[in-house]
């Protein structure tokens, strides 16, 4: 047979400290006021989640999503299979907007002939690319910092 359990309020009946301190049962003083009372005073953190120094809206920083030459060479076969990159003759055409990368960095070795479209290129990558049969179309060879410096002037 199932044993019925007593409810908590019934267990605590007759107990002097059912509500904690004996004065806690009176009014709303222990809660700091009823409802949203004190929301702009002592309940501010809980209601409005205001933290010192965190309350200003900050603009989102636009950062380029980079990929190194070595990493690009590793994923090239997958990109060709997924039809995110095209093989035309002995060259592979890679579009940065399709593969989801905005910038090409210089670490790694170039093993295939590439045509890179819509990707920014770092200085180191531009030096590597010059003599290795890689063409860059619709891209800039400036770094993000240089762009920011020109905009301020």
- Please state the domain extents for the chain: 66-152
In this structure, what token pair is assigned to residue 76?
């090239």
Global pTM value? 0.52
Going 5 to 9 to 14 to 20, the CA torsion angle's sign is: positive
> What CATH code would you report for 66-152?
3.100.10
> What is the rounded CA–CA span in Å between residue 94 and residue 124?
19
pLDDT at 142 over 70: no
What is the average per-residue pLDDT within 140-152? 51
Mean of the per-residue pLDDT values for the chain? 81
pLDDT digits over 80-120, tens only? 999 999 998 888 899 988 998 989 998 998 888 888 888 88
Residue 31: which pLDDT band, with cuts at 50, 70 and 90?
confident
């Amino acid at each position: 047979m199932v044993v019925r359990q007593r409810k908590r309020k019934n267990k605590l009946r007759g107990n002097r400290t059912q509500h904690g301190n004996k004065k806690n049962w009176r009014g709303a003083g222990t809660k700091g006021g009823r409802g949203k009372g004190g929301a702009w005073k002592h309940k501010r953190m809980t209601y409005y989640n205001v933290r010192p120094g965190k309350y200003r809206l900050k603009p989102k920083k636009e950062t380029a999503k980079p990929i190194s030459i070595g990493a690009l060479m590793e994923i090239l076969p997958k990109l060709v299979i997924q039809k995110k990159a095209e093989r035309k003759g002995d060259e592979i055409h890679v579009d940065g907007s399709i593969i989801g990368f905005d910038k090409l960095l210089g670490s790694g070795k170039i093993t295939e002939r590439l045509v890179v479209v819509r990707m920014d290129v770092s200085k180191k990558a531009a030096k590597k690319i010059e003599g290795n049969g890689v063409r860059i179309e619709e891209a800039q060879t400036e770094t993000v910092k240089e762009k920011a410096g020109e905009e301020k002037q």
